[in-house]
Amino acid sequence: MKRILSLILVLSSVFMLASCNGEKEEDKDLIFWAYEPQSMAHKNQYQALINVFEAENDIKVRVSWVVKDSYNQRLNNAILNNRQPDIAYLDQPIMASYVKHGHVLDITEKFNQSTIIQPSDFFAASLDTVTFDGKYYGMPLTIGTSVFLYNKTYITAPEDIKCWADVLAVANEKASGDLAAFEGIGAGGYAGWYFGGFLKAAGSNLMNDDLTEVNFANEHAVEAMEYLRALYALSPDNIRNSQHPFGNGKALFKLGGGHDIDSLRTNFPNLKFGAMLMPPKEVGGTSYASVGGDNLIIFKKSKKADIAFKFMEFLNSESNALKIAEFTGNFPANDTAIKDHYQNDPERLVLREQLKTAVPRPKIEGWITVNDNNLGAAIEEILTTTVDIQTRLNRAKREAEAYLFKK
């Protein structure tokens, strides 16, 4: 019996030692969550970049590739179970909630003292999405926006389109029962996101500066909606709701970003199209569009903040930022990484110029719900029915403020 007990104790000690050693080895790993790339080729290229970082820093980076549609929910579940990664992607409109609840590390000092990359290297709009009370709670990684794509077969003098009135004039002249003026603004979340640029062009932001009031029911919002409704009136439903009307040459104009440009070139190689800045409301006005993209954050509970920040620098370096952005069709948020890369790509040059005046979404917890369920729903109803614009926007404003400021 004594021999059996002794053997049990020895085996137990061995298992405990192995377990402890395993935990220590695992603790050395840097845990990284990222969106699942859209192709295996891009995933392999991304992993190859990570392998370089591992070799240079003698560390293992354990990557969880997560499908974007389920990413936010899975990350929330990880936080609830105290299993959050060290470093992760985070969608811009989610930042406010994570910062408010203390999940994200303030990297201001590290960022300002970096010898690899500086805040001034980034597009202003992307940097704004990680800035709260003057401090940096993340580093932008990719950035996107929208421009006005046009069909060159019908639009032969795009330089003459200088404002909303010019767009409507061309649409009135060219559109017909077989040719829509406009492919549309989309529905739900997409519509709400696009609308931010139109509202800014009309003279307002989606919320006031101190984030205490929703602005998308004011007179500027009504003007923007009237403009869009006029374009929809010149865009027959059967064309606008068909598959790829712009790609099939059945629409004059389309909102689009880098991914759309890539898709049109691949799927509609015979389509002749160009890109222009989003037309301002008035001649001589500023062109605006909404900004999108993804940020990198370090969780406050991470014990590897220094190496996690070094990984941020690595991904955003001039040699890597452009590669990562191309996996998604976006731009690198680090503008210095672009240099003259798009010199022979006129559509992407327009996108790069548009990014200089792109506007971020309100940095308030819950905005993504308001964008999708309140603003997006209102836009869709206004543009597809005869509902009174002001009345419908007032309702969306009441519902949004009740949600955002609920006690």
User: Could you report the per-residue pLDDT of 87-118, keeping only the tens digit for each?
Assistant: 999 999 999 999 999 999 999 999 999 999 99
pLDDT at 25 over 80: no
- Cα–Cα distance measured from residue 370 to residue 270, given in angstroms and rounded to the nearest whole number: 39
User: Could you report the per-residue pLDDT of 116-130, keeping only the tens digit for each?
Assistant: 999 999 999 999 999
Q: Is 16 exposed, middle or buried (0-12, 13-18, 19+ CB in 10 A)?
A: exposed
Tokens describing residue 331:
């731009």
Kindly list the domain boundaries of the chain, sorted by start residue: 2-144+292-358, 147-291+363-404
Are the C-beta atoms of residues 128 and 358 closer than 8 Å to each other?
no
Are the C-beta atoms of residues 174 and 153 closer than 8 Å to each other?
no
User: Could you report the per-residue pLDDT of 175-226, keeping only the tens digit for each?
Assistant: 999 999 999 999 889 999 999 999 999 999 999 999 999 999 999 999 999 9
To the nearest whole number, what is the mean pLDDT of the chain? 92
CA dihedral 39, 346, 122, 64 (to 10 degrees): 0
Tokens describing residue 95:
């930042």
- Cα–Cα distance measured from residue 389 to residue 369, given in angstroms and rounded to the nearest whole number: 21
Tokens describing residue 166:
């010019």
User: Looking at residue 328, what is its pLDDT?
Assistant: 75
User: Looking at residue 319, what is its pLDDT?
Assistant: 86
Beta-bridge partners for 135: 132
Give percent of the chain with pLDDT exceeding 90: 86
Q: Distance of CA 388 to CAs 224, 392, 394, Å? A: 14, 6, 10
User: Looking at residue 121, what is its pLDDT?
Assistant: 95
User: Could you report the per-residue pLDDT of 264-306, keeping only the tens digit for each?
Assistant: 999 999 999 999 999 999 999 999 999 999 999 999 999 999 9
Helix ranges, 268-375 (H):
305-316, 318-328, 346-355, 367-369
| Architecture category of domain 147-291+363-404 in CATH | 3-Layer(aba) Sandwich (3.40)
pLDDT at 329 over 90: no
Q: Distance of CA 397 to CAs 221, 227, 339, 343, 369, Å? A: 11, 20, 42, 43, 13
User: Looking at residue 406, what is its pLDDT?
Assistant: 86
Beta-bridge partners for 388: none
User: Looking at residue 26, what is its pLDDT?
Assistant: 56
At the topology level of CATH, where does 2-144+292-358 sit?
A: D-Maltodextrin-Binding Protein; domain 2 (3.40.190)
End-to-end CA distance of the chain: 66
- Residue 387: left (phi > 0), alpha (psi -120 to 50), or beta? beta
27 — pLDDT class (breaks 50, 70, 90): confident
User: Looking at residue 24, what is its pLDDT?
Assistant: 53
Residues 6+ apart with CB under 8 A from 309: 107, 110, 114, 298
> Is 147-291+363-404 in the same CATH topology as 2-144+292-358?
yes
Are the C-beta atoms of residues 361 and 290 closer than 8 Å to each other?
yes
User: Could you report the per-residue pLDDT of 336-356, keeping only the tens digit for each?
Assistant: 998 888 899 999 999 999 999
Beta-bridge partners for 295: 90, 140
